[in-house]
Amino acid sequence: MSRNGALMLLVSAVVLLLAPYFIESKFYLDVLTLIFFTAYIGQSWNVLGGYAGQFSFGGVMFFGTGAYASTILLTTFGVPPIIGIFAAIFAGASLGFIVGYMSFRSGLRGSYFALITLAFAELLRVLANSVEFTGGGVGLFLTYAPGLHNIQFDSPVGFYYFSLLLLTISILIALWLERSRFGAQLAAIRENQDAAEALGIDTLRCKIYAIMIMGGMGGAAGTFYAQKYLYLDPPIAYSISLSVEMLLVTIVGGMGTVFGPLIGAFVLHIVNEITRHFIDTPGLSLIVYGVILVVIISYLPNGLMGLFKSRSKASDDGGLGPDETGGTSKDA
Amino acid sequence: MGGLAQMKLVGPPKMLDVRGITKRFGGLVAVSSVDLSVSEGEIVSLIGPNGAGKTTLFAIIAGFLTPDEGEVTLNSSSINGLKPHKICQRGMVRTFQITQPFSGLTTLENIMVGAYANTTDYNIARSDAERVAEMVGMSSQLDKSADGLTVAGRKRLELARALATNPKLLLLDEVMAGLNPTEIDEVVKIIKNIRDSGVTIFLIEHVMKAVINLSDRTYVLNDGTLIAQGTPHSVASDPMVIEAYLGHGAAETMKDRAQK
């Protein structure tokens, strides 16, 4: 990373760490917590979708499974969530392994893979509804007992810092992907799987590792969510809207970039809050929100991060236009 | 030719040995019981008219297709049924006739993917990639996005990426197609340098000038069957080969014309 980038990162880290001392409003702290949470879970989607190019529509399955794992451990066996969160990570990663092994081994790519993940998430929702140990449709209630061991806090500041911790970890993972062999292998798979395979990359293994990382991250998010909202039922645990939200923030922010999910989460939450605040007619705010989404996606195919990138790329590629088109048509 | 074949038998050990390879697609026999071998340090070429099955044969050798019959041996161990990445790890790597760049990545990043086959360290992969880029003459294009490269650039990138995996045997599928004469001369020079650095090369090529200039031996494939083999010059004057390219009776006509 460039020096300027490192400096900016340091400044924003300090600002975010000190934010609770300046922001008095519980509401705004809560909004920030939610933004960080969304950015975190967006980043989990980004590992598989952005870096490895394998789109999933059912990312929520890891969130829900992690949430159930730690919550059931807590309510049935009294395991504190600070340990349960690791069980949640394990559960998410294991589910990632199962789904990844089954679908990538049989060669599912593109929309077929996306749909199979959606099917898995729906399957789990139905299952969670019908078995006993999840509490079925009634759901599971958690008791409120603040303390770090419970990942519960008596003020929004605690949740703010915990979500900031999750966000930091997710950004470190993305930074690692940017500069590691594994990250390069995922990018190769995203750009051209056959060529990646020809160059010695075990594409199946790499994709399974990527979905396991996504699963582990999603699992931890589930624990955090359950401890914050103290209630879990199948429609929450396996909601399609969270699956959509995690890919939306990443696509709007910029897929395969370190800060795409965070920027996307910021912008979408702020747009959402503003439209809700200023527009009173019921439903209209959603329409405006949708229109803004359409505009962003159609004019910024590389997301908001593309605004920065395309400018620097344009200066690199100057003057290559004719050659480029000639090359493509001849080669294709 | 018999004498030459004998010498090869007692010569350097066979690095790649292909025995009785047959591949069918439905009713079509794309490759029919092909035998060939490549010894260490050689440049061997495979030529033949369009649709002869050359690329199919390459895909089988590199593990992208499984043969219906026959066996491929690399350094005396069978590689039948191995996945391409395993074969690459054993030291044999292919390029693609239709170039397959990682379009969203830069030239350097593309080559680094190959270099990462031998290291997990970013800096080592980077310096390896820069060294290979220099070898194929791409040093000035490292930061360029791969989808902005010319045909010649893309062909070189294929070569560079494969070379960066540090192979013992390089399978080149028409790396000169679509290049102009100057570019072809440059690539010929590059391929010779690669061989001199200790890499064995097996290539598919249509550019005859390059085939004659480069190859120690040439195989000719037509309709999925090998119809000739030997030095490039002997193959180029083989009547069977001329007929395969120019049609039935062409060899006779050419002979007559030459006599007139």
DSSP code per residue over B148-159: G--HHHHHHHHH
Domain count within chain A: 1
The answer to whether residue A254 is domain-embedded is no
Radius of gyration for chain A, computed over Cα atoms and rounded to the nearest angstrom: 21
**Which residue type occupies B142?**
L
Q: What is the pLDDT of residue A302?
A: 85
B16 vs B247 pLDDT, higher one: B16
ipTM over 0.90? The verdict is: no
**What mean pLDDT comes out for the span A55-79?**
96
The answer to whether the CB atoms of A180 and B120 lie below 8 A apart is yes
Q: pLDDT tens across B54-85, in order?
A: 999 999 999 999 999 999 999 989 999 899 99
Token pair 């039948």 is found at B80
Task: Give percent above pLDDT 70 in chain B.
Answer: 95
CA distance A220 to A66: 6
> B198's torsion region: left (phi>0), alpha (psi -120 to 50) or beta?
left
How confident is residue A324, by pLDDT bands cut at 50, 70 and 90?
A: very low
The answer to whether residue A264 is domain-embedded is no
Three-class SS of residue A148? Answer: helix
**Distance in angstroms between the alpha carbons of the first and the last residue of chain B:** 29
Q: How many CB atoms lie within 10 A of CB A311?
A: 9
The answer to whether residue A319 is domain-embedded is no
Measured between beta carbons, the chain B residues lying within 8 angstroms of A107 are: none
**Which residue type occupies B5?**
A
Residues in chain A whose beta carbon is closer than 8 A to a beta carbon of chain B? 179-181, 184-185, 187-188, 190-192, 194-203, 256, 313, 316-317, 320, 323-324, 326-328, 330-332
Q: pLDDT tens across A286-308, in order?
A: 788 888 888 888 888 888 888 87
CA–CA–CA angle A304, A171, B101 (5° rounding): 65
Q: pLDDT tens across A70-89, in order?
A: 999 999 999 999 999 999 99
Q: What is the pLDDT of residue A1?
A: 57
**Distance in angstroms between the alpha carbons of the first and the last residue of chain A:** 36
CA distance B191 to B223: 28
DSSP A259-325: SHHHHHHHHHHHHHHHHHHH--STTHHHHHHHHHHHHHHHH-TT-THHHHHHHHHHHHSTT-HHHHH
Q: What is the pLDDT of residue A54?
A: 96
The answer to whether residue A313 is domain-embedded is no
The answer to whether residue A297 is domain-embedded is no
Measured between beta carbons, the chain A residues lying within 8 angstroms of B165 are: 199-200
B109 and B160 Cβ atoms separated by less than 8 Å: no
The answer to whether residue A223 is domain-embedded is yes
CA distance A300 to A41: 22
* Burial class of residue A322 in the structure, from the number of CB atoms within 10 Å of its CB (0-12 exposed, 13-18 middle, 19+ buried): exposed
Q: pLDDT tens across A112-167, in order?
A: 999 999 999 999 999 999 998 898 889 999 988 898 999 999 888 999 999 999 99
Has residue A103 got a pLDDT over 60?
yes
- The partner residue sitting opposite A194, judged by closest CB among B100, B148, B154, is B100
- Is B112 part of the contact surface with chain A (CB cutoff 8 Å)? yes
List CB contacts of B27: < 8 A, sequence separation 6 or more.
Answer: none
> A78's torsion region: left (phi>0), alpha (psi -120 to 50) or beta?
left
The answer to whether the CB atoms of A324 and B147 lie below 8 A apart is yes
Measured between beta carbons, the chain A residues lying within 8 angstroms of B85 are: 197-203
B218 beta partners = B45, B230
Q: pLDDT tens across B183-227, in order?
A: 999 999 999 999 999 999 999 998 888 899 899 999 999 999 999
Domains of chain B and CATH, by start:
2-259 (3.40.50.300)
A187 and B105 Cβ atoms separated by less than 8 Å: yes
The answer to whether residue A316 is domain-embedded is no
The answer to whether the CB atoms of B178 and A326 lie below 8 A apart is no
Q: Give the residue from A191, A192, A199, A255 with the most B CB atoms within 10 Å of its CB, the best one to mutate.
A: A199
B68 and B24 Cβ atoms separated by less than 8 Å: yes
B229 beta partners = B219
**Cβ–Cβ pairs < 8 A, chains A and B:** 112
Domain containing residue A60: 25-239
CA distance A40 to A29: 16
Has residue A314 got a pLDDT over 50?
no
Strands B43-47 and B92-94: unpaired
SS (H, E, C) A19-70: HHHHCCCHHHHHHHHHHHHHHHHHHHHHHHHHHCCCCCCCCHHHHHHHHHHH
Alpha-carbon distances of B236 from A38, A144, A227, B87, B231, rounded to whole Å? 66, 86, 78, 32, 9
CA max distance for chain B: 66
> B195's torsion region: left (phi>0), alpha (psi -120 to 50) or beta?
alpha
Structure tokens at A219: 């699992």
pTM above 0.95, yes or no: no
Write out the H or E segment, with its range, that includes residue B225.
strand B225-230
CA distance A79 to A45: 28
Exposure letters B79-102 (e unless 16+ CB within 10 A, then b): beebebbebbbbbbbbbbbebbbb
Has residue B7 got a pLDDT over 70?
no
Q: How many CB atoms lie within 10 A of CB A274?
A: 14
The answer to whether the CB atoms of A184 and B150 lie below 8 A apart is no
Q: Give the residue from B64, B113, B158 with the most A CB atoms within 10 Å of its CB, the best one to mutate.
A: B113
Strands (E), A74-162: 140-141
The answer to whether residue A324 is domain-embedded is no
Structure tokens at A238: 């396996």
SS (H, E, C) A152-209: ECCCHHHHHHHHHHHHHHHHHHHHHHHCCHHHHHHHHHHHCHHHHHHCCCCHHHHHHH
Q: What is the pLDDT of residue B10?
A: 53
Q: What is the pLDDT of residue A22?
A: 86
| Average pLDDT value for chain A | 89
